[in-house]
Amino acid sequence: MNENLIDWEKITITNNLMFCSVMQDEEICKEFLETMLQIKIDRLSYVKAEDSISNDFLGRGIRLDVHVKDSDREFDLEMQMTDTKDLPLRARFYHSLLDADALDKGQRYDMLKESFVIFICPFDVFGKELPVYSFDRICLEEASVTLGDRSHTIFFNFKAWEKANDHEIKNVLKYFQNGTVDSVLTGKINSLVTQNRYKREWRENFMTYEQDMIVREQVWYNNGLEAGIEKGAAAQKAEDEKIIQEKEQELQQRDAALQQKMSELQQNTTVLQEKLVELQQKTSELQQRDEVIHKRTTELQEKETELQQKSRELQQKDDEIAKMAEEMNRLKAMIESK
């Protein structure tokens, strides 16, 4: 992968590797969880990106985007850019493996931590145009009765950020949607995103991300074979398809953005051409008016010249009449004297 062919400015917090990198900052991760879940956290005891949890019962394992723990709670943060149509079922599976991984043999169930599985998406999983969907288990026959299993599933739809009731949550969702920094938290996130874009180490990690994913999945595959897991190949294929789908979606989004910009450029060019035609038409009209004015001015000048000529001719006639009157008066006087 050629570094010069990558538009680093287009890599935002919604890029999976960028999201994982930013959330590994404990201060940002802690403030992010407190803001989005409206809770208080004293201290994070565990923050790990791309954390793998295996299934000891010879089943499918999972890879969590960002796995976080404090003293009595556990969080899974998933940056989900592709609508795979199975997110509720994935949430169920993630909860089950988080719980299975949390308890050792012989430990009591009351030692299970409160768990949160959180998906952050640019789409509406449930089609109700809500910015946040929060789920806890309740009794169908009596809604006031909760199961109390301390498991929570939350879906954030940052496309609907404008409808968020909480101001701080709205700011975060807005930042995920369009990169606008409107709060201290989003400022911290954006600062780290910008730093990562231009770090040599981070760029190298970005360019080798796919190769690393393939290597790790191959290790899982080989471990599955050694343990005699026949379902390993199917799980590997599903993970590969997920990565491919996400990459294809990312490429489609980039292509759509490029096409949108080209369309906007064409529209702007059309508008400019129309304005140019209007300007040319107005210029032509002004030139025509100038020609008419010039013609009328010339005609007026010619008429003025004619009037001046006629005025001179009248003056000459007046002079002649005056002379004739003077001559007549002189002759009259001579006659009268005789």
Q: What is the DSSP string of 125-160?
A: SSSS--SEEEE--B-SS-TT-B----EEEEEEEGGG
pLDDT number for residue 28: 97
Structure-token pair, residue 88? 């509720």
Identify the pLDDT of residue 214. 57
Where do we find the tokens 């199961």?
Answer: 147
Strands 114-121 vs 73-79: parallel, antiparallel or unpaired: parallel
Of 81, 102, 80, residue with least CA distance to 91: 80
Low-confidence ranges of the chain (pLDDT < 50): 58
The confidence score (pLDDT) of residue 58 equals 47
Q: What is the pLDDT of residue 250?
A: 82
Residue-level pLDDT at 70 = 95
Q: What is the pLDDT of residue 221?
A: 64
pLDDT score of 31: 97
Question: What are 231-242's pLDDT values in tens digits?
Answer: 666 767 777 778
The tokens of 107 are what?
Answer: 């430990």
Q: Output the CA–CA distances (angstroms, integers) from residue 84 to 4, 20, 90, 97, 256, in the order listed.
A: 32, 20, 10, 20, 20
Give dist(CA 283, CA 129) in Å, integer. 52
User: Hey, what are 244's tokens?
Assistant: 């491919």
pLDDT of residue 336: 84
Output 196-203 pairs: Cβ under 8 A, ≥24 positions apart: 196/18, 196/21, 196/22, 197/8, 197/9, 197/11, 198/8, 202/21, 203/3, 203/6, 203/8
Determine the pLDDT at residue 121.
Answer: 98
Q: What is the number of other CB atoms lying within 10 angstroms of the CB of residue 260?
A: 10
What is the reported pTM? Answer: 0.62
CA-to-CA distance for 187 and 193, rounded, in angstroms?
Answer: 10
